[in-house]
Amino acid sequence: MARIGKPIRPAGPAASGRENPTTGLHLAVMTPTGRRTGMDRVTDRHPRPPLPEPAAGRTPSSQPDLPPGPPPGRRLRWCAGWLGCAGWAALFPLISPLGPHRVWGALAAAGYLAAAVVALLPLPLPLPPSPGGRDRARRAVALSGWTAFGGAVLLPLALLVGSGSGQSEVSVLARAGELLLAHGSPYLDAPAGPAEVTPYLPGLAAFGLPHALLGRAAGPATDPRLWCATAFLATGRAAWRHLAPTGARSRDRDHDRGGRQLRSWRWESVTTASTPPQRTGVPSPARTPTRSARVGVLELPSPTQALGTGRTEPAAARTGLVALLASPPVALGVAASGVDLPLTGLLCLALALGAARRPAGAGAALAVAGALKWTAWPAVPVVVALLAVTAGRRAALRCAGVAVAGTALLVAPWLVRAPGPLLRQVFAFPLGRGPWPTPAASPLPGRLLADLGPAGWGAAVGLLLLGGAAVALSLLLRPPRHAVAAADRLAAGLALAFLLAPAGRFGYLALPLFLSAFTRLATAPRSR
């Protein structure tokens, strides 16, 4: 630990070291003889130039002039991004036929506008900013991200949950939990309409159990969106920790500790000898009188703390994650529906565990995800291909076995008990082959083809199968070798499936976008 100090002059010649005329600091080198050290001789031989004279009309100050302000480029980019999000959210009150979407759009647009303003605010700092105002820009950007998160996620979620308003998926999950608790199956044998259809696998009905057990007595705490968000946060945090670069947490901790030490002064008592040692051959006195001095010590990080991080600041990755969660595709899903949140978190966790060469854990995450929605099944070959390259064939087979066996174990009881209702509601209805039209009717390519008739529906399904075959072939010819490549391959497959499916929504595309962005943020180098 290097220490630089400015001593208050002790009595006697014991404290040596020459005070720097520029900084007022020097090495507090204590010698028992009062002799001048090599550092003093170097300072005398190469003195620093004196400080420049203050300009006319100005008085010298002990504090250096602060830079004029942070560079506008980064803050302007974030401001422009939040303004774009505000424009997107402002369209929902104008064109959306769904009440929860209109409420979210109005609140989120205001939150994004506030975030754009915060990104440009001249925020005060407790310490002088770094050259170019990087600290101010970084702090303003982080605060703008939290402002957007509060305005686009927390506030709409609280209002919609408190008023009991949400998309149809919320009531579907609540009813599925009641059916599971009362009859042992979330599927009705003869639903009277699309509102009584459960288009999800049995595992997702578990998020409606709090509502079924406690009813309305517990108030908004039983809303399925809150439990879906809780599962998403738990699995997402675990995925983030596994995707972080090796040793990043310790390096980040050392970096933060070093940053605090760079800013901390403390006072130390330095004890020095007041009498020089005797000449050779003369016995030294039994006890040497001492004198004490108070030295102000500025603590600097050690070289391993200051330079050994070699990676980025964790604050930048956290700011990016908050901005991702506050983005319109994610924020709208959290506030109005929440049904895809557990699946998203589990897929991120499966990719993270696969990249960490943990086949059993990755297979377990895939098994649970596969018991929620069948759209998670394409993730199994992607994670298996990743493990085959990074951990070997045996690990890949182990992951595949755990995933397939776990999904079958979780779904088989309901498939054996009532196969007809499960197949009709989970597979036929979402694909547009049920007795009622599905509410997922966004004008995507597959939906437009299916509207042309049976031939168009067949063409959409054929294109869907071709897209899946193309992704599978890419896994064989060029398997992913790291988490980002695996997430991109899975995102491409899911995006093709959502675009070419006979029925779908624009909101489904938030899942592949989140997978790709999340893995990039989590695996980004932690540079300074």
Q: What is the pLDDT of residues 65-90, one digit of tens each?
A: 444 444 567 788 899 999 999 999 99
30-57 core/surface letters (b: 16 or more CB in 10 A; e: else): bbeeeebeeebeebeeeeeeeeeeeeee
Mean pLDDT in residue range 240-269: 51
Beta-carbon contacts of 225 under 8 Å, excluding residues fewer than 6 positions away, are 157, 160, 161, 166, 170, 334, 335, 337, 338
Any bridge partners for residue 265, and if so which? 298
Mean pLDDT in residue range 139-155: 92
Task: Provide the pLDDT for residue 53.
Answer: 56
Taking the C-alpha atoms of residue 240 and residue 458, their distance in angstroms, rounded to an integer, is 40
pLDDT digits (tens, 9 = 90+) for 357-385: 999 999 999 999 999 999 999 999 999 99
pLDDT digits (tens, 9 = 90+) for 206-226: 999 999 888 777 778 889 999
Nearest to 510 by CA among 330, 303, 273: 330
pLDDT digits (tens, 9 = 90+) for 173-186: 999 999 999 888 89
Map out the domains of the chain as residue ranges: 72-124+132-165
As a whole-number percent, the residues of the chain with pLDDT over 90 amount to 45
Phi, psi of 521 (to 5 degrees): -65, -40
pLDDT digits (tens, 9 = 90+) for 465-511: 999 999 999 999 999 999 999 999 999 999 999 999 888 888 889 99
Mean pLDDT in residue range 111-140: 71
When mean pLDDT is compared across 37-41, 144-148, 496-500, the lowest value belongs to 37-41
Cβ distance 414 to 202 under 8 Å?
yes
Mean pLDDT in residue range 42-70: 48
Residue 147 scores a pLDDT above 80: yes
Taking the C-alpha atoms of residue 328 and residue 507, their distance in angstroms, rounded to an integer, is 10
Which pLDDT band, with edges at 50, 70 and 90, does 284 fall under? very low
Cβ distance 112 to 82 under 8 Å?
yes
Mean pLDDT in residue range 303-309: 32
SS3 269: strand
Taking the C-alpha atoms of residue 306 and residue 90, their distance in angstroms, rounded to an integer, is 46
Mean pLDDT in residue range 156-182: 90
Residue 280 scores a pLDDT above 70: no
Block residue for tokens 């639903």: 191
Higher pLDDT, 39 or 208: 208
Beta-carbon contacts of 461 under 8 Å, excluding residues fewer than 6 positions away, are 431, 502
Mean pLDDT in residue range 118-146: 69
